[in-house]
Amino acid sequence: MFNDFEMAKAKVNGVEINYRIRNSHKTSENAILFLHGFPQTHIMWSGIADNFPEDYPVICPDLRGYGNSEKPSGVENFSFRKMAEDQFQLMLHLGFEKFHIVGHDRGGRVAHRMALDVTDKIKSITLMDIVPTKLLLSELTTQVAQSYYHWLFLAQPSPFPEKLISADPNYFYESCLLGWGSTNLDNFDLEKLKHYRKSWNNVDTIRAMCDDYRAAIQFDWAFDNEDDNRCLDIPACVMWGETGAMAKHFDVPLTWENKFLNIHKKPMHGGHFFPDQYPEETKSELVSFISNNTD
Say how many CA atoms lie within 13 Å of 220 toward its Cβ: 32
Q: Active-site residue among 36, 42, 264, 272?
A: 272
Burial of 141 from C-beta contacts in 10 A (0-12 / 13-18 / 19+): exposed
Q: Are 275 and 48 in contact (CB under 8 A)?
A: yes
* Pairing relationship of beta strands 31-35 and 6-12 according to DSSP bridges: unpaired
Distances (CA, A) of 159 to 132, 254, 272, 288: 28, 37, 28, 45
220 is a catalytic site residue: no
105 is a catalytic site residue: yes
Residues ≥6 apart with Cβ < 8 Å to 101? 32, 33, 35, 87, 111, 114, 115, 122, 124, 125, 126
Q: How far apart are CA 33 and CA 103, in angstroms?
A: 8
Q: Active-site residue among 50, 105, 211, 224?
A: 105
Which residues does the annotation mark as catalytic? 105, 272
